[in-house]
Structure 1
């Protein structure tokens, strides 16, 4: 069970793959953070945003979680508009307390 609340119907192949990968990261906390953001935003992300989200998906769970929670400083090359949107989305919508 992935937890997704969004159907992939109507999404192009790239967006379907990103949505799947966002919900299947390995660490449940990151599944919820990335997956919920993808559910909410995947249909509206630009091609540039999709590329950046794919790059974030490749980051190790522990590092990305630390950046999002502020426990680890976010490297400058990852401190992008999309990352800040993801972090803000998590901060404002998630019942997860990390």
Structure 2
């Protein structure tokens, strides 16, 4: 049986909350709650591929410590927008 898009969203939201480091739990669960509801199957597949990467790599990409691979660059950019305050203080 093939998983529905709605079940995929719920599964990825749970994976976003249960990461290896607390910072990624906060960043990715916040992103999932904001964005996954509007994602189609293709976007969800890309997000799932990102979740297969190491937490440390994702954190470095989101916090700007290193550049994300080209296939994840736009997605990491979207995650980064909502991560302000989680990866660095809010701009004043």
TM-score normalised to structure 1 length: 0.76
Unaligned runs of 5+ in 1: 1-10
How many matched pairs? 85
Given candidates 65, 76, 84, the residue that maps to 1:83 is 76
Alpha-carbon shift at residue 47 of structure 1 (Å): 1.5
Unaligned runs of 5+ in 2: none
Alpha-carbon shift at residue 78 of structure 1 (Å): 2.2
Q: Give the alignment of 1:1-98 within 5 angstroms.
A: 12-79=6-73, 81-91=74-84, 94-97=85-88
Residues 47-81 of structure 1, C-alpha deviation per residue, up to 9 Å, x if partnerless? 221111101111101111001111112222321x2
RMSD: 1.9
Alpha-carbon shift at residue 13 of structure 1 (Å): 1.3
